[in-house]
Amino acid sequence: MALTRPDRIAGFEERAYGLFLHWGLYAQLGRGEWILHNDDDITPEEYETLTESFTAADWDGREIARFARESGMGYAVLTARHHDGFSLYDTRGLSDYDAPHAAAGRDLVEDFVEGCRAEGIEPFLYHTTLDWHWGSDTCDQSSFEEYITYLHDSLEIVLEHYDIGGIWFDGDWSRDDVDWHLDDRYELVREYRPEAIVVNNTGIGNEGEISHPEIDSVTFEQSEPEPLDRSGADQYVAAEMCQTMNGHWGIGADDYAYKSPGDIIETLATCRGRGANYLLNIGPTAEGALPAYEQAAIRRAGDWIDDVGQSIYEGRPVECSCQGRDFVLETDDGLFYLAFDLSISGHENVTVTTGGSGPRSIAGLDRDISGARWLDSGEELTVFQAASESITTIDCTGFPYGSDTVVRVAELQ
């Protein structure tokens, strides 16, 4: 019997593509989000003085949400508190290590959530469970119980005061010798936000692991997702790949190894072909602005989404076997074939041959297909189908010279 997909999880899957934002005190150092842990020359006391220059002068939650919406994203996730223990939200007396007590002097999470709601973007909050400021990774068992109380008090503030659609935990992997009180944590989430999507990042090496029955989506950190095998499962769980625009999550001043619009398109398409969301990260500047290159690359990929949006947002993978990396998605209104590695046609003196074109076969589609057309050009494609419908062949033409959409989408008729 097929698993029932709850409406809230269906809504999450149809948002398809999200913006991840790793931002905090570490942005002022421009060397990634783990700088406090990685650099022995920076003492915790020196690091904490970064609050005095953390102005958040360029942080604008609504502008960021507008960028996400215009780029084709359906949700956004902000690091309300990362592993350094500094909170971007008002901890309401629980701690003075937060944005309202820093030079920013305001609640940056509130600004983000309100901005997302105004722009129709579903706001999620990332919240660490590993806290170097507290010493949760090194403290003894007795102190760890005190930490759990602090963590749950922090989460109660977040869940009670911010209108979020999901919460994204990260850090349980830091210790396997303690009781994380997961039942209590998730009971707290359900008490305040019963419809919230719950994610707990299981980290690199544990991709796709379901860590608790209350988890709504498993994670694939920095790696392409595998299709989930839901046979024998008690509940429907979604999947999400999270990835950085470069090699780390917080901004890196000396990093030049960025993903291209083509990389983004290929990864988003691959995720959707495997039934997963794609959560793509930007590290804002010290002052909270989105860097220019990342904005440009993501906006350009968004132009592709404008052309194929229905298939990407609503499409669910169809069980069939395609050539290479190709796959078929199905929406309530139709079928879509996504083709990778097509060649570009043109004069041999100006055209570099990559990929290929021509007939591509689909085995096991089990649908009566009478035709196909490229969404980008409207060109009709020749389709051959075996009498048994066991093999469907589409004659995939290459890109006309002067165009290359990286992944080309055909609507099947």
Distance CA 91, CA 89 (A): 6
Note whether 300 and 326 are same-domain residues.
no
* Lowest-confidence pick of 145-149, 203-207, 249-253: 203-207
The answer to whether residues 112 and 180 belong to one domain is: yes
- Asked if residue 31 has pLDDT above 60, the reply is yes
Tell me the C-alpha distance between 405 and 118, whole Å: 31
Q: What is the pLDDT of residue 350?
A: 47
Among the listed residues 352, 361, 365, the one whose alpha carbon sits nearest the alpha carbon of residue 320:
365
Per-residue confidence at 232, pLDDT binned at 50, 70, 90? confident
The CATH number assigned to the domain holding 336 equals 2.60.40.1180
Residue 85 located in a structural domain: yes
Domain containing 331 equals 318-412
At 305-337, the pLDDT tens digits run 999 988 999 999 999 999 999 999 999 999 999
Q: What is the CA radius of gyration of the chain?
A: 23
Residues 291 and 386 in one domain: no
CA 260 to chain centre: 16
- Residues 239, 135, single domain; the answer is yes
pTM > 0.85: yes or no = yes
Q: Does residue 1 fall inside a structural domain?
A: no
pLDDT digits (tens, 9 = 90+) for 240-299: 999 999 999 999 999 999 999 999 999 999 999 999 999 999 999 999 999 999 999 999
* 208-225 per-position pLDDT tens digit: 999 999 999 999 999 999
What is the per-residue pLDDT for 389? Answer: 72
Token pair 């359906």 is at which residue?
Answer: 74
- Check which CATH number belongs to the domain holding 161 and give it: 3.20.20.80
Q: Is residue 324 part of a domain?
A: yes
Number of domains the chain contains = 2
Q: Which of 279, 313, 347 is the last residue of a domain?
A: 313
